[in-house]
Structure 1
Amino acid sequence: MISPATLTRFRELLQRRLGWSFADNDLGPATEVLAARAKAHGLTAREYLDRLGGRRWTAEIAELAQALSITETYFFRHQEQFRVLREEVLPELVVARGGQRVLRLFSVGCSSGEEAYSLAISAVAGRPSPDWIVSVTGVDANREMLARARSAVYSEWSLRDTPAEVRERWFQDTPEGFRVVPEVTSTVRFAEHNVATDDPQLWHPGRYDVIFCRNLLMYLTGEVAAALVRKTTRALTEGGYLFLGHTDSLGSRPDGLTVCHAGGTVYYRRRADPAVAASAATAAAGSTAPVTRAADPVARPAPIPDDWRRAFGLLREDRFAEALEVVGDHDMLLRGVLLAQLGRVTEARATAHRLIDAGGPQPDAHQLLGVCHELDCADQAVGQYRLAAYLDPLFAMPRLRMGLLARRRGDMRGAADHLEAALRLLIRESEERIGLFGGGFGRLALTTLCRTELDACGVRR
């Protein structure tokens, strides 16, 4: 029999470790979970709580999250919010992101993945062209739910509020169930995360255009809920959108957010800094103002310059396997390029995503993703190259690749525009970037290639 004092201590530990709050009438399941978890470890309830409170016990916290989570969800839950997303929010973002051509969405408390995939389907369907990049991140503390989410296979019940035309377009009817199509699953990534803890990479300021955090705040303690709202607000881009559950409210004047009403639902928009908004509008309109190159994104860390130089030299000699052994994990970008050269594309993509997740502009990582995508999806490759060029307008290599791809699909005018830009930029392109992304060609050979391809376009310059 678990005493009231023991149960109170369990509640306090759950609040501290998971940020969860339990009303008195919710204590039945918590009591059962405490008894079951203590028995699973061969401990008394008191011994179990001593261990839980005494040190970091990550695996057990995950087990508790799994046992205590409320996991009921389905696709396009609360249709009015997804209607606003499709008809109001995404069209606005498409205009605002016209230069970057990237849409980033975040599902906090994604459970078994239905919400994250619903966001991805909405964004993929709403992008103007396939070369736009859609990136959806889903996080949850429940490992079992995340495993289901990654499988991307669902029952008829999960699609009970999904329109027939959406079901036909975005799901495959298989013997196991309804499988989300690869066009959508390729845009979604899931991660285990406890919202009571911090993760600077996951919550990087200005990272997401849309965040869904629905029906979660009401289960958290006031302190954890307030901290989560602050993190969420910071993680939105200027003008980004936040959707909460109908049971959650931030009041009429939330800090940093504007309350919006449309389509019978309430949602929030991060207030934009006027100076930032004016700068973004100028960029979207095609500003020709001079751009200063950011700090060299492929600069080497001081402790390993000799290893890097040796690996880089081996790369230029096409000795990729030897170079990979030398560089190890010391330099993610060079490692990613070598993995791509060795045909280990899945590992190369994962390395590029690790660089992007580190935060800040990562044009070279997007260039690497473009190289990887050229093997399976030219539109995705163009999207990554376009983003690399947007993040660093002085980067010649993405313009060269976009020019070659445009000529391959018969767009001679577009090819000429990109190749002319590449020709101008190659003069000052760094030797490191030429070595990393030049495919074994030097500056002179790449310049000659540009001129040859320009002549073949047959477009008057």
Structure 2
Amino acid sequence: MNGQGEIGRFQDLLARKLGWGSAGNDAGRLAELLRDRAAEHGLRRDDYLTRLAARPWDAELTELIERLTITETYFFRHGEQFAALREDALPERLAARASQRILRMLSVACSSGEEAYSLAITARQARPSRDWLIDVTGVDANPQMLRKAENGWYSTWSLRETPDPVRRRWFRQADSGYWVADEIRQLVRFQRTNVAEPDDELWRPEQYDVVFCRNLLMYLTPAVVSALVERMTTALAPGGFLFLGHTDSLGSNPAGLELRRNHRSFFYRRPGGPTPQQRAAPPAPVRSTPVSPYAAPPGPPPTEFDGEQAYNRALDLLRQEQFAAALELIAAPRAAPMRPRDQLLHGVLLAQAGRLDEAVALARGLSDENGLNPDAHQLLGLCLEDGSAVAEAVGQYRLAAYLDPGFALPRMRLGQLARRQGDDRTAAGELERALELLARESEQRITLFGGGFGRIALTVLCRSELDACGVRP
């Protein structure tokens, strides 16, 4: 086979295996790559192509991906798109998600992670309050780049377009570069994905509020581009936004999307959800001091017999271990329905009174109503553990810890249960984290879930359990 025929065959294999399409002026580059890879394996070019076509060869495909992709990127690249995200897309999505309080974003071809972390920072700055959950997924086919993304360290050059206030707030300078702050890293997860292949979980319908897929489509074959755009469109929530690179365009009227323009940038929106005219009022700014998710909503001063006074009194009675009196007070008839925090306290008191079936039913109801409520999962875990459903309790504690990474008490219970099961290394990891978080745990949560122990007693207990493990993570 002549050289031109080998290049054509190589192009066909790359298109079939990776969805990669090449322009006519790539022949020289592909010829060099084919020569190098065949020589690396001690094969003639024709034999190398036969081997590549014959059966799965994952290690070689990985090497080809690393050689073919352009990985240079930096934080907040193409700032006009992030301005559109910040000022147009996110206000609409925050209004649409006000009841769920969760924002999901996807970075396709995330390379070494700068784009995914930039999305997380932008969303973190825009969130209306502390109880919002931000979830950013970064996907790429290049494992070497994903390892760098997960590491979270970047050179000063990668932050060349990052505003100084953002750099100071969300990065930690060290080792002649910068680490992404932990509170941003915990919002982002990375996974290896070949966009030429389907993935039911990644492309689950209507799950993302924002998808970034920039400067990738130009490398893909038309068939893969069509399939990928369809998957991204379907995976967007109604009213969700798709941002493409400046080299990519779907035209002015793509199927299932509408074109938007602002901040010198074009982007796309899936119809549905609140329109700009229907957009809710801007959310209140984040307060400078932590606010409990169960704090009373603003309103007129409380009257003598309103729910606020009853709640505070019942909480005091719980601290004094006067469970029956507290339960009678919180369960008393009232004019307005119970708020979630009242129900949570009610469930804690039911559990303390030994009425586990009722406490479990109440906790499950809270979880069903708002699956993002970490305290409801913590209560359910405690009830299930007392009822000998330890495996399910562990799952509930993990959910509570996932939904609120600053929640110390589920970490402590996970550590204690792991130690009970003889897994000292896992126990040590959980207890170490719980010990770090206990100093910042809210008094209200300690009252609700501390089993009658105060902060100091819980800290001593946690340290004792950790020392007994005999290992440190």
Residue 408 of structure 2 is aligned to residue 408 of structure 1 = no
Shift of 1:84: 0.9
Shift of 1:367: 4.8
The amino acid that maps onto 2:141 is A
Question: How does 1:249-328 map onto structure 2 within 5 Å?
Answer: 249-272=249-272, 316=386
The amino acid that maps onto 2:444 is R
Paired position in structure 1 for 2:206 = 206
Shift of 1:268: 0.5
Paired position in structure 2 for 1:301 = none
Cα separation, 2, equivalents of 1:127 and 1:47: 56
Asked if the contact 2:120/2:136 (under 8 Å) is kept, the reply is: yes
Cα separation, 2, equivalents of 1:109 and 1:66: 12
Distance 1:314 1:128, change over 3 A: closer
Cα separation, 2, equivalents of 1:4 and 1:140: 31
Cα separation, 1, equivalents of 2:407 and 2:236: 31
The amino acid that maps onto 1:66 is E
Paired position in structure 2 for 1:243 = 243
Distance 1:6 1:239, change over 3 A: same
**Structure 2: gaps of 5 or more residues:** 284-336, 338-363, 369-382, 412-440, 452-473
Cα separation, 2, equivalents of 1:217 and 1:185: 27
Paired position in structure 1 for 2:395 = 336
Q: Alignment partner of 2:178: what SS?
A: strand
The amino acid that maps onto 2:146 is L
Shift of 1:196: 0.5
Shift of 1:37: 2.1
Paired position in structure 1 for 2:331 = none
Asked if the contact 1:336/1:368 (under 8 Å) is kept, the reply is: no
Asked if the contact 2:106/2:212 (under 8 Å) is kept, the reply is: yes
Shift of 1:439: 10
The amino acid that maps onto 1:260 is R
Question: How does 1:324-403 map onto structure 2 within 5 Å?
Answer: 336-337=395-396, 340=397, 348=398, 366-367=399-400, 369-370=402-403, 373-375=406-408
Q: Alignment partner of 2:100: what SS?
A: coil
Paired position in structure 1 for 2:24 = 24
Shift of 1:36: 2.2
Paired position in structure 2 for 1:453 = none
Paired position in structure 2 for 1:48 = 48
Shift of 1:371: 7.5
Cα separation, 1, equivalents of 2:122 and 2:168: 14
Paired position in structure 2 for 1:234 = 234
Instruction: Give aligned-pair identity as a percent.
Output: 50
Distance 1:372 1:76, change over 3 A: closer
Paired position in structure 2 for 1:3 = 3
Residue 161 of structure 2 is aligned to residue 171 of structure 1 = no
Q: Alignment partner of 1:202: what SS?
A: coil
Cα separation, 1, equivalents of 2:243 and 2:384: 50
Asked if the contact 1:153/1:176 (under 8 Å) is kept, the reply is: no
The amino acid that maps onto 1:76 is F
Distance 1:146 1:196, change over 3 A: same
Cα separation, 1, equivalents of 2:247 and 2:259: 15
Shift of 1:56: 2.2
Distance 1:83 1:12, change over 3 A: same
The amino acid that maps onto 1:215 is N
Shift of 1:132: 0.9
Paired position in structure 2 for 1:400 = none
Q: Alignment partner of 2:32: what SS?
A: helix
Shift of 1:57: 2.2
Asked if the contact 1:20/1:219 (under 8 Å) is kept, the reply is: yes
Paired position in structure 2 for 1:77 = 77
Asked if the contact 2:384/2:393 (under 8 Å) is kept, the reply is: no
Cα separation, 2, equivalents of 1:180 and 1:219: 29
Q: Alignment partner of 1:268: what SS?
A: strand
Report the TM-score, using the length of structure 1 for normalisation.
Answer: 0.64
Distance 1:178 1:367, change over 3 A: closer
Report the TM-score, using the length of structure 2 for normalisation.
Answer: 0.62
The amino acid that maps onto 2:407 is E
Q: Alignment partner of 2:408: what SS?
A: coil
Cα separation, 2, equivalents of 1:78 and 1:213: 13
Paired position in structure 2 for 1:215 = 215
The amino acid that maps onto 2:248 is D
The amino acid that maps onto 1:13 is L
Shift of 1:43: 2.3
Cα separation, 2, equivalents of 1:336 and 1:42: 51
Shift of 1:315: 5.3
Cα separation, 2, equivalents of 1:36 and 1:13: 16
Shift of 1:219: 1.1
Distance 1:176 1:6, change over 3 A: same
Cα separation, 2, equivalents of 1:319 and 1:255: 49
Asked if the contact 1:2/1:31 (under 8 Å) is kept, the reply is: no
Cα separation, 1, equivalents of 2:176 and 2:189: 22
Paired position in structure 1 for 2:106 = 106
Shift of 1:140: 0.7
Distance 1:13 1:223, change over 3 A: same
Asked if the contact 2:76/2:82 (under 8 Å) is kept, the reply is: yes
Residues 181-208 of structure 1 deviation map (CA, whole Å, 9 limit, x = unaligned): 1111110011111111111101111111
Distance 1:334 1:314, change over 3 A: closer
Asked if the contact 2:136/2:188 (under 8 Å) is kept, the reply is: yes
The amino acid that maps onto 2:28 is G
Cα separation, 1, equivalents of 2:17 and 2:50: 14
The amino acid that maps onto 1:195 is V
Q: Alignment partner of 1:93: what SS?
A: helix
Cα separation, 1, equivalents of 2:180 and 2:3: 47
Residues 405-461 of structure 1 deviation map (CA, whole Å, 9 limit, x = unaligned): 987179xxxx9xxx9xxxxxxxxxxxxxxxxxx999xxxxxxxxxxxxxxxxxxxxx
The amino acid that maps onto 2:40 is A
Residues 133-181 of structure 1 deviation map (CA, whole Å, 9 limit, x = unaligned): 1111011111111111111111111111111111111111101511111
Which protein shows a greater Rg?
A: 2
The amino acid that maps onto 2:271 is R
Shift of 1:368: 6.4
Cα separation, 2, equivalents of 1:208 and 1:314: 33
Asked if the contact 2:385/2:393 (under 8 Å) is kept, the reply is: no
Shift of 1:39: 2.5
The amino acid that maps onto 2:222 is G
Shift of 1:238: 0.7
Cα separation, 1, equivalents of 2:405 and 2:160: 37
Cα separation, 2, equivalents of 1:70 and 1:83: 25
Asked if the contact 1:2/1:45 (under 8 Å) is kept, the reply is: no
Q: Alignment partner of 1:135: what SS?
A: strand
The amino acid that maps onto 2:395 is G
